[in-house]
């Protein structure tokens, strides 16, 4: 933790290379124990205005830097992030409750974003357009100016790194509002970026509550581009705020992703991915494989193996590195429990409650057992809405047509996976499923720096990750010269 943070004992907004202590605070709670980790500055419109003003000032010079200069800085940031790997992983694990191994993976992916975009920007070109021998026409990609980012609490370091790396690489400057529950790694990242040589104001962080600091950032007239990761309901509000000012937005929203398992699939090979896609980060992943669509002929075999695997999962505090940590808050655990209260107990093959075997400090944590709910009605709430917990809903199908209909049978379209040895089946399902990412005989939840990521339908629009993200953070200028 930075020296300023240790002195203040408060996680504060970080603007123009310095901390802004706040007289109003709220508790930062460790979901593994329920204990208070410290205080978080409750910033508002004034701090947001300072942050945007600082970013605007820094952008005037930053946009004039060469791709090579921006590349050098981003690569240096990547190295600096890895230099603070232990510290950042600990902050991430304490704030989110995720197992330490997963927190280390998040730090590594965060560094990879800075390195990837630092290297990619040197090969990001405009195009020439052959109108005729007496005309020279070409396009330029230019930054928007100041980008605003409001991110979720499930992967705070990964989410903000992929956004700010792309923003800085393309000549923008950025202001971030981390989630209420998980601000510390983002503030520490801002310190590291400044220490690596970024100009003051290139990346600013405003801590606080979504309804106050988040809303002020979304509505600020000095923001030229908005990015949001979170629920579809809040995303709609962000989109309205952007539309009021006619600025572009990238929205990564909810998901109800499906693993579709055909009878010829190698079930034992698929099982680790089927399990991991549900329990990684305690199921608090927008791309979690929260629906398991299984051919009727193998439903009992697959569910039996999933239940067996779930019942072997170790549970505990994130910093102790179990396989499954707590949910991010007691409120989130209550939300997950509400879904289970709506299903018949005979459908719950394992889990369905908080564990009763935890004592001592862990008794105050927000834990929930990995849960399998069988024979789910496709129209039920647990099949239609994001649970955001370690819960999988099992549905069965008879043929490809029914499988595709079930896979597409929600408002979401973020990720899906198809498990089959038949290439014809795989290609037909890839064409039929409406989702932004489709995997065959593998599953991706988190990571995948090179892979464009975003949703269809109510899972959002625009793309993060991969080279496509560079297009999202730049605007095209067309130049035509008569020779």
> pLDDT tier at 447 (50, 70, 90 boundaries)?
low
Domains 3-253+461-482 and 258-448 in one fold: no
Q: Are 14 and 190 in contact (CB under 8 A)?
A: yes
Which tens digits make up the pLDDT trace of 246-288? 999 999 999 999 999 999 999 999 999 999 999 999 999 999 9
What mean pLDDT comes out for the span 202-223? Answer: 97
Report whether pLDDT(199) > 60. yes
Q: Is the dihedral of CA 156, 160, 162, 165 positive or negative?
A: negative
The pLDDT score that the predictor gives to residue 4 is 43
Which tens digits make up the pLDDT trace of 117-136? 999 999 999 999 999 999 99
Q: Is the dihedral of CA 157, 30, 382, 209 positive or negative?
A: negative
Helix, coil or strand: residue 385 = coil
- Residues contacting 428, CB < 8 A, separation 6+: 400
Q: Are 148 and 217 in contact (CB under 8 A)?
A: yes
Q: Which stretch of DSSP H or E encloses residue 394?
A: strand 391-397
Catalytic residue set:
252
3-253+461-482, CATH topology level: Aldehyde Dehydrogenase; Chain A, domain 1 (3.40.605)
Report whether pLDDT(1) > 70. no
Cα–Cα dist 78/63, whole Å? 21
DSSP state of 26: E
What mean pLDDT comes out for the span 382-403? Answer: 98
Sheet order of strands, 36-41 included: 10-11, 36-41, 25-29
Homologous superfamily (CATH) of 258-448 is: Aldehyde Dehydrogenase; Chain A, domain 2 (3.40.309.10)
Q: Which stretch of DSSP H or E encloses residue 435?
A: none
Cα–Cα dist 397/406, whole Å? 8
This prediction's pTM: 0.95
| DSSP state letters, 80-121 | HHHHTHHHHHHHHHHHH---HHHHHHHHHHHHHHHHHHHHHG
In the chain, domain spans:
3-253+461-482, 258-448
The phi, psi pair for 41, rounded to 5°, reads -65, 130
């Amino acid at each position: 933790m930075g020296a300023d943070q240790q002195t203040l004992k408060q996680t504060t907004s970080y603007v123009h290379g310095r901390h802004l202590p706040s007289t109003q605070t709220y508790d930062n709670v460790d979901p593994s124990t329920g204990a208070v980790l410290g205080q978080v500055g409750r910033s508002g419109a004034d701090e947001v205005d300072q942050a945007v003003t600082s970013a605007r000032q820094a952008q005037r010079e930053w946009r004039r830097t060469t791709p090579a200069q921006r590349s050098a800085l981003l690569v240096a940031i990547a190295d600096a992030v890895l230099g603070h790997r232990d510290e950042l992983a600990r902050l991430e694990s304490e704030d989110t409750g995720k197992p330490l191994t997963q927190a280390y993976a998040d730090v590594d992916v965060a560094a990879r974003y800075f390195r990837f975009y630092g290297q990619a920007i040197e090969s990001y070109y405009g195009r020439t357009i052959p109108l005729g021998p007496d005309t020279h026409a070409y396009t330029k990609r230019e930054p928007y100016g100041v980008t605003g980012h409001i991110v979720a609490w499930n992967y705070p370091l990964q989410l903000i790194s992929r956004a700010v790396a792309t923003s800085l690489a393309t000549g923008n400057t950025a202001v971030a509002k981390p989630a209420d529950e998980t601000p510390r790694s983002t503030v520490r990242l801002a310190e590291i970026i400044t220490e690596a040589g970024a100009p003051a104001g290139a990346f600013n962080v405003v801590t606080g509550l979504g309804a106050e600091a988040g809303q002020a950032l979304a509505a600020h007239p000095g923001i030229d581009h908005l990015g949001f990761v979170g629920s579809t309901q809040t995303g709609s509000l962000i989109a309205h705020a952007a539309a009021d000012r006619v600025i572009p937005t990238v929205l990564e929203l909810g998901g109800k992703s499906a693993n579709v398992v055909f009878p010829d699939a190698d079930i034992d090979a698929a099982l680790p991915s089927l399990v991991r896609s549900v329990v990684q980060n305690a199921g608090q992943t927008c791309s979690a494989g929260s629906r398991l669509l299984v051919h009727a002929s193998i439903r009992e075999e697959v569910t039996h193996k999933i239940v067996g695997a779930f019942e072997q999962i170790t549970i505990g505090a994130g910093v102790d590195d179990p396989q499954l940590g707590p949910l991010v808050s007691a409120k989130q655990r209550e939300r997950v429990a509400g879904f289970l209260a709506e299903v018949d107990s005979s459908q719950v093959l394992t889990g369905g409650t908080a564990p009763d075997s935890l004592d001592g400090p862990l008794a105050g944590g927000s834990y929930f057992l990995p849960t399998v709910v069988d024979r789910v009605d496709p129209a039920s709430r647990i099949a239609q809405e994001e649970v955001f917990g370690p819960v999988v809903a099992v549905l069965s199908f008879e043929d490809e047509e029914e499988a595709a209909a079930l896979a597409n049978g929600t408002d979401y379209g973020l990720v899906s996976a198809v498990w089959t040895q038949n290439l014809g089946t795989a290609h037909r399902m890839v064409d039929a499923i409406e989702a932004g990412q489709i995997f065959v005989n593998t599953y991706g939840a988190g990571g995948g720096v090179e892979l464009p990521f975003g949703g269809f339908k109510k899972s959002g629009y625009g793309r993060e990750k991969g080279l496509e993200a560079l297009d999202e953070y730049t605007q095209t200028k067309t130049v035509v010269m008569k020779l």
